[in-house]
Amino acid sequence: MFSVLLLSMLGCNQEGAAPPIADRGGEHHADGHEEIAHQGAEGEAVKDPNHEPEIRVAGEPIEPAAGPAEPVVVDPALFSPPKSHDPAPATYQIEMETTQGSFSLTCHRDWSPNGADRLYWLVDHGYYSDIAFYRVMNGFMAQFGMHTDPKLNETYKDKTHAIPDDPSGVQSNTRGRLSFATSGPDTRTTQLFINFGNNANLDPMGFTPVCEVDGSGMSVVDKLYNKYGDGAPRGAGPRQGFIARRGNEYLRGSFPKLDYLTKATIKR
């Protein structure tokens, strides 16, 4: 099962009732359609699960898709994540280079030991290169972490590659905090989200903050393209199952305005 962001419809954020962030990463109902719960958003619904039509947001034209600056080379170690990771430093920083500019994160192992260890390992092995911010919901959060390599997405669909949950309540999902996505207990793998607002209602649901955006870095995060909103069919954004199978070819072809995390590195 992909590590995905599963948020209850209960509780509120700063905009009012919190929209669900429940995508199932390519899981399917018995009828073959992907299980997705979404906030309503403007855009064209996808009726055929095997075909993604052109999607336009608020009349905006589709522009030619831009390719990556250079091919993404996948470290073979990423296909065999360890069952337990070596402890990360007590605190460490990650430099995040995006299509809107750069910002840094400070990560705290005492907030989320398992999460901090997994994130350090993933970044240190180059996982977060050419990674789309594929689900950006204004006032709520920006989600990312699915890879452009379908084989790597399939690897992390395996529950054995997930990490155990960390205790909740140590820190809260306030603005600028970064947490792992989850689809239920002990299912965190590679997907992450950055909170735009105060989402404290998420704290008891397994969404344990790991890092926070440094200084004025949220001025970069706030610029991430958000007009696609939630995923199809209720929003105009991508389907996780299609990202899993087709990677950035699908995203750049149908959602050319998305922003990307071009590179994440541990600051030493």
- What is the mean predicted confidence (pLDDT) over 164-180? 96
> Quick one: which of 32, 8, 36 has its CA closest to 24?
36
CB–CB of 162/155 below 8 Å? no
**Tokens linked to 63:** 């522009």
Residue 233: the pLDDT is 82
Q: Which residues 6+ apart lie within 8 Å of 207 measured at CB? A: 5, 7, 168, 173, 179, 180, 181, 182, 199
Q: At what angle do helices 240-254 and 150-157 cross, to 10 degrees?
A: 160
Domain that holds residue 115: 12-28+92-267
Which residue(s) pair with 211 in the sheet?
Answer: 107, 178
User: What whole-number percentage of the chain has pLDDT above 90?
Assistant: 70
For residue 45, is pLDDT > 90? no
Inter-residue contact 151 to 79 (CB < 8 Å): yes
Domain count, the chain: 1
Residue identified by tokens 């790597």 is: 152
What is the value of pTM for the model shown? Answer: 0.79
Q: CA triplet 54, 230, 105: central angle to 5 degrees?
A: 115
Residue 209, pLDDT above cutoff 90: yes
**Within-domain flag for 104:** yes
Each residue's pLDDT tens digit, 104-114: 999 999 999 99
Tell me the per-residue pLDDT of 216-225, one tens digit each, with 9 for 90 and over.
999 999 999 9
Banded pLDDT at 69 (limits 50, 70, 90): low
For residue 251, being part of any structural domain is answered with yes
Q: Is residue 41 in some structural domain?
A: no
What are the residues facing 193 on neighbouring strands?
143, 179
Q: Is the pLDDT of residue 202 over 80?
A: yes
- Position 145 in a domain: yes
Residue 40: pLDDT over 50: no
Q: What is the pLDDT of residues 224-259, one digit of tens each?
A: 999 999 998 878 999 999 999 999 999 999 999 999
pLDDT at position 17? 36
Torsion angles phi and psi, residue 102, rounded to 5:
-110, 150
Q: How far apart are CA 150 and CA 154, in angstroms?
A: 6
Cα separation of 123 and 125, whole Å? 5
Q: Is residue 78 part of a domain?
A: no
* pLDDT score of 93 more than 60: yes
Q: What is the DSSP letter of 50?
A: T
Q: Is the pLDDT of residue 59 over 80?
A: no
Average pLDDT, the chain: 81
Q: What is the CATH number of the domain that holds 158?
A: 2.40.100.10
Q: Is residue 225 part of a domain?
A: yes
pLDDT grade for 181, boundaries at 50, 70 and 90 = very high
260 domain residue, yes or no = yes
pLDDT, residue 21, reads 45
**Is residue 36 included in any domain, yes or no?**
no
